[in-house]
Amino acid sequence: MKMTGPLERVLRVFLADVSAPRYGYDLMKAARLPSGTLYPMLARLQDEGLVAAQWEQQREDAAGRPPRKFYRLTGEGVQVARLELAQAAARRTSRRPVQRDAPRSIPGITR
């Protein structure tokens, strides 16, 4: 799994509440992604068995609205997402000192 910014945001949204069902539009809003990015990503995660999709049961308050499809992480998905996010964070912190040190050697340039 190649970690990208959008993927990281989606995983974070999923992990914020693992048990919560997430609809496409809700994910778009929470992860701030356009539908054109989100759906292919969800499809890929589904293929890898990390995300499961289900149709919602018809609710009482739905007022005749059609049922929506919701997504959530599978058990494996939760583990993989946590691991990947931790690794992504680790990569960032290990890179940071190098970036921070470089400008310091040039006097007069503050970061």
- The correct pick among 10, 13, 28, 31 for binding another protein (CB under 8 A) is 28
- Shortest approach of another protein to residue 35 CB, angstroms? 3
49 binds another protein (CB under 8 A): no
What is the DSSP annotation of 16-41?
HTTTS-EEHHHHHHHHT--HHHHHHH
2 binds another protein (CB under 8 A): no
66 binds another protein (CB under 8 A): yes
Phi, psi at 99, each rounded to 5°? -65, -35
- The correct pick among 1, 17, 20, 23 for binding another protein (CB under 8 A) is 23
Question: What's the CA gap between 89 and 101, in Å, rounded?
Answer: 19
